[in-house]
Amino acid sequence: MNSIDNLLKEFPYKIILGSGSPRRQELLKSLGFEYRLMPINADESFPSDLQAQEIPLYLAEKKADAFPDELKENELLITADTIVWCEGKVLNKPANFKEGKIMLETLSGKMHEVFTGVCLKSANKQTVFFDASKVYFKSLKNEEIEYYLTNYNPYDKAGGYGVQDWIGYIGIDKIEGSFYNVMGLPVKELFEELIKF
């Protein structure tokens, strides 16, 4: 048997994914790990003095702290949070069409950064890490923005867009760093951290 097969089969923890994000579920599954899904509803407010990667690191830990059950010795909880950071400001999930339009107009023709913070928590230890990617948008036309918001409803996504959606196909010139981090889970780093854990 291949050593990766062994590693996945003999991984000492039962993984719990504390996320309702379909993208994160799909990415963790694609890594080959079995997991149980337990979405966590945590308040996503954060102190106003936090900057860039400090925000998703704080929120990933906050989500882990909001996990309702006591973790057993053999359980490992994964929580994560992704933010879009543009010109020194965080762009959260848009509440409606109008907010989504303002966000995409803000990102149009510019580079922004996407930070994902991840928290791994067991009964007796906890580690946090983050990844950062730079995303370069072309100048988006008004009709492109409106078509996207009307047809793809990106209201559960930081910055008001999904890199794997239509707007990503037609609007992104290039990405520096991990594509999967922009989707919501830095899978390469996660795999390395799970093995270290």
Tens digit of each residue's pLDDT (9 = 90 or more) over 73-104: 999 999 999 999 999 999 989 999 999 999 99
Give the pTM.
Answer: 0.93
The span from the CA of 94 to the CA of 73, in Å, is 39
Question: Would you please indicate which residues are annotated as catalytic (active-site) residues?
Answer: 81
pLDDT grade, residue 1 (50/70/90)?
Answer: low
Q: Which domains does the chain have, with CATH numbers?
A: 3-196 (3.90.950.10)
pLDDT surpassing 90 at residue 142: yes
What is residue 110's predicted lDDT score, i.e. its pLDDT?
A: 98
